[in-house]
Amino acid sequence: MNRKIVYTIVLMVGLAGVLAYGALVYVTLYAWEEVAVSTASSSGSVVFLDNISHGTHHLGSVHASLESDIDISYSNPISPSIETGIGINTFTTSWNDIRRDGSSGGKTAVFTLTVWDSAGVPHSTSLKSGRSGSGTMSVSLFSPEPGEGRFELTSTILERRLNPSALSDR
């Protein structure tokens, strides 16, 4: 065969490979999205007082069962209202990601703890869990003055899905 023909064939095959690779990267990066399958939240109030001591307060728990798409979030069963002193306080919540087989199955659990101080400023932390496990999350904040704040515990199950409209839009 003529060298020009061989070079042309090699160039065309290489170009086709580069185009196929680019399409694969595009689908991988842009055509997938995380969709909220279920969300649960609970909340309560935090009263900052100047006549009691500050400290660490457990606010409740958040759970996600990914096989059944069930989120559970509950505040401290004793009282959804916490009284604490002004100054530095730490607020905790326990989380639990339940998966019977331990795999992700394309789903992720996101747990969020948000506490608003007496000035209305939110202080938040989130944990994204891709496997079975449990633990504690905490938020520390300084509240300089008496007043009322609030807290919210949220558990969300996200599922990674192919978005066909993203393929046709580009």
Q: Which burial class, exposed, middle or buried, applies to 112 when counting CB atoms under 10 A from its CB (0-12, 13-18, 19+)?
A: buried
pLDDT beyond 90 at 81: no
Q: Tens digit of pLDDT for each residue in 145-165?
A: 999 999 999 999 888 877 666
DSSP 86: S
75-80: long-range contacts (C-beta < 8 A, 24 or more apart)? 75/42, 75/43, 75/44, 75/151, 75/153, 76/44, 79/44, 80/42, 80/43, 80/44, 80/45
pLDDT beyond 60 at 166: no
pLDDT beyond 70 at 7: yes
Q: Tens digit of pLDDT for each residue in 92-133?
A: 999 998 777 656 567 888 999 999 999 999 999 999 987 888
* Contact by Cβ (8 Å): 1, 10: no
Q: Report domain extents, the chain.
A: 3-30, 34-162
> Residue 78: left if φ>0, alpha if ψ -120 to 50, beta else—which one?
alpha
pLDDT at 65: 84
pLDDT beyond 90 at 78: no
| pTM score of the predicted model | 0.73
- What are the strands of the beta sheet with 32-49, ordered from one edge? 81-85, 32-49, 147-162, 107-116, 122-129
